[in-house]
């Protein structure tokens, strides 16, 4: 089956921003050595007949906006923005239960390479909550919240670990989530993906000095669930 073309969100002479689908690796890595599917870099090369260079990370299971440099020499100026915390990322998530109205999760996350814990900070805000008349073990109904997340740090699996820490794991998270709720979404809604989406990224372009806010539309799984949630 032919791969659908990646959705371009923004492009200029320096960068390309696309809407990454769920379950697509950005590039091959030690952690995903058993995954043989085409990476985002492969898909872009097929689509544009050109190699791109990712400027930041996005977990394989997460969908949403990712920015890539068009040439290697453009990388350093953009990466400086990340190092200086001059890039604001916003994510959307669907979590189990009624999450608090807003809060900050300040809890270290273990680095998978060094096994050393590093400081990690996430701000969140609950946008909506819903109760569904669908039983999920051990309750007769199920509750969910739509949550907005703004990470201050970029640790691996940070948002997934942090939400599990406050007992509101992401739906579709098989590593840190709740298997009963994950199974319900698969069986009732035919949704098999992680509900974590990098919705916007905002920064001042280091070359053009333009203030950019790049948004990634939600995918079909999200639309289906949003409709159910009304």
Looking at residue 17, what is its pLDDT?
Answer: 98
Looking at residue 1, what is its pLDDT?
Answer: 44
Contact 52, 202 (CB under 8 A): no
> Which of the residues 12, 42, 59, 173 is marked catalytic?
59
Q: List the chain pLDDT tens, one digit each, 230 residues.
A: 456 899 999 999 999 999 999 999 997 665 556 666 889 999 999 999 999 999 998 999 999 999 999 999 999 999 899 888 899 999 999 999 999 999 999 999 998 778 899 999 999 999 999 999 999 999 999 999 999 999 998 898 999 999 999 999 999 999 999 999 999 999 999 999 999 999 999 999 999 999 999 999 999 999 988 888 77
Asked if 59 is an active-site residue, the reply is yes
Options 3.30.2350.10, 3.40.50.700, 3.50.50.60, 3.30.1360.200; which CATH number does 7-229 get? 3.30.2350.10
Burial 115-138 (b: 16+ CB within 10 A, else e): eeeeebbbebebeebeeeebebee
pTM: 0.94
Domain extent listing, the chain: 7-229
Nearest to 111 by CA among 154, 150, 81: 154
53-54/117-118 β-pairing: unpaired
Angstrom distance (rounded) from CA 49 to CA 70: 12
Q: How far is CA 126 from CA 22, 130, 187, in A?
A: 23, 11, 26
Tokens coding 37: 């599917």
């Amino acid at each position: 089956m032919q791969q659908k073309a990646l959705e371009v969100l923004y492009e200029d002479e320096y960068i390309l921003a696309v809407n990454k689908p769920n379950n697509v690796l950005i590039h091959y890595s030690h952690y995903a050595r058993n995954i043989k599917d085409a990476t985002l870099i492969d898909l872009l090369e097929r689509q544009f007949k050109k190699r791109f260079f990712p400027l930041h990370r996005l977990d394989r299971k997460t969908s949403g906006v990712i920015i890539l440099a068009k040439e290697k020499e453009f990388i350093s100026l953009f990466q400086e923005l990340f190092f200086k915390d001059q890039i604001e990322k916003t994510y959307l998530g669907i979590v189990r239960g009624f999450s608090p109205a807003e809060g900050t999760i300040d809890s270290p996350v273990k680095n998978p390479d060094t096994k050393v814990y590093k400081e990690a900070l996430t701000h969140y805000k609950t946008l909506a909550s819903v109760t569904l008349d669908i039983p999920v073990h051990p309750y007769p109904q199920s509750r969910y919240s739509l949550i907005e997340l703004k990470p201050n740090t970029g640790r691996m699996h940070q948002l997934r670990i942090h939400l599990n820490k406050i007992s509101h794991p992401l739906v579709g998270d098989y590593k840190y989530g709740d298997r009963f709720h994950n199974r319900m979404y698969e069986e009732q809604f035919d949704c098999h993906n992680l509900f974590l989406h990098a919705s916007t990224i905002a920064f001042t372009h280091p070359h053009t000095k333009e203030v950019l806010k790049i948004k990634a539309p939600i995918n079909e799984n999200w639309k289906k669930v949003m409709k159910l949630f009304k």
